[in-house]
Amino acid sequence: MKKKEISDKDIISDIKKGNIKPIYFLCGEEPYFIDVVTEAFESEILTEDEKSFNQSILYGRDVSVEDIVSAAKRFPMMAERQLVIVKEAQSLNKTIEKLEAYAKNPQMTTVLVICYKNKKLDKRKGLAKNIAKNGVYYFAKKVYDNQIANWIQNHLQSQRYKIEPKAAKLMEEFLGSDLGRIDNELKKLTMLLSGERTITPDHIERNIGISKDFNNFELQKALAQRQPEKAYRIINYFSQNPKDNPIFKTVPILFSFFSKLLIYHSLQDKSKYQAANALGISPFFLDDYRIAASNLPMKKVSEVVQILREADVKSKGVGVSSVRQPDLLKDLLYKIID
């Protein structure tokens, strides 16, 4: 049976229970999770009085592996253990394997936390094997763009809050995949809810500055429902607010929608959950694809996908001497609606 991969929540739960290992190697593609776990170590391992003598924060660009080992081998002062955190340890990627000897026989009164962002160890080598044996090796997996809305919902659910699907989609569109930024905005929102437990599009518009009526999500719906007047109003709004609504964000969002619409057209089983699973979307949004499929035959959708490919190239300045975002958006809309 395949061993269950440890999660950030598993590590934080163990920290709070006092189930502490002498060495933790936090690596991977999602810096946010590494930061969350590191913050848990900083807040839970030592009391404020103990931190003065027993907490060391090192940075990979400023130290060597030998410096880290030297710090880790010190004994705590008037405390059960000391905490040594090495941030930006990926700067030591060429020499990190020198840590193997320490990982083989770590100081049991030290908690050594290595933050190795956007990289990983070779699990065939001794360092990774010894960390797995005597401590914890954690790989933070990337949360991809199409998973952000679900992550927002699950993140809030763990704090006993809810968010309407459209509101989660608005945050995904406006904030992208920066989980740290999303988390900060969610913290602000929950503080402003005044006893409410559900975040709505109105909350997003009032407190984050995202228009609930003029955004890529509403443009996508207008195109799917063949509502040219509404689509033109949104495009005009984008043209007047280009900084907040850049075309290089609009085109990929539309391209993703129409590409999935092609897949929807080809599905044999279009039942709610089967189709949603095939498209990789929440069942809540499946009606958008059903409506779009009834308004746009497969041939037209194929043409739209090609139009969006060409618009993407033009938006990057390829093959054109100059391009104005409003003109490109209006031209794009004309071709799609035609």
Q: Please tell me the pTM assigned to this model.
A: 0.78
The range of the structural domain enclosing residue 15 comes to 8-140
Identify whether the C-beta of residue 224 lies closer than 8 Å to the C-beta of residue 267: no
From 140, 156, 177, give the residue that closes a domain.
140
Residue 2 lies in a domain: no
Give the pLDDT confidence score for residue 322 in this predicted structure: 58
Residue 93 belongs to a domain with what CATH number?
A: 3.40.50.300
14 and 114 co-located in one domain: yes
Residue 231 lies in a domain: yes
Give the pLDDT confidence score for residue 52 in this predicted structure: 93
Given a cut of 80, is residue 316 above it in pLDDT? no
Residue 42 lies in a domain: yes
157 and 120 co-located in one domain: no
Given a cut of 80, is residue 118 above it in pLDDT? yes
Give the pLDDT confidence score for residue 247 in this predicted structure: 84
Q: Provide φ and ψ at 325, rounded to 5°.
A: -55, -45
Hey, how many other C-beta atoms are within 10 angstroms of the C-beta on 119?
12
**pLDDT single digits (tens) 39-82:** 999 999 999 999 999 999 999 999 999 999 999 999 999 999 99
204 and 242 co-located in one domain: no
Residue 180 lies in a domain: yes
45 and 97 co-located in one domain: yes
Environment class of residue 5 by beta-carbon count within 10 Å: exposed (0-12), middle (13-18) or buried (19+)? exposed
Give the pLDDT confidence score for residue 319 in this predicted structure: 57
123 and 161 co-located in one domain: no
Say what percent of the chain tops pLDDT 70.
97
**How much is the average pLDDT of 309-315?**
83
**pLDDT single digits (tens) 180-233:** 999 999 998 998 887 889 999 999 888 887 888 899 999 999 998 989 999 999
Give the pLDDT confidence score for residue 107 in this predicted structure: 97
Query: Domain tally for the chain?
Result: 3
Residue 185 belongs to a domain with what CATH number?
A: 1.10.8.60
Give the pLDDT confidence score for residue 312 in this predicted structure: 83
Give the pLDDT confidence score for residue 1 in this predicted structure: 47
Average pLDDT, the chain: 91
**pLDDT single digits (tens) 281-297:** 888 889 999 999 999 99
Residue 267 belongs to a domain with what CATH number?
A: 1.20.272.10
What three-state secondary structure class fits 81? coil
Say what percent of the chain tops pLDDT 90.
69
Residue 298 lies in a domain: yes
272 and 183 co-located in one domain: no
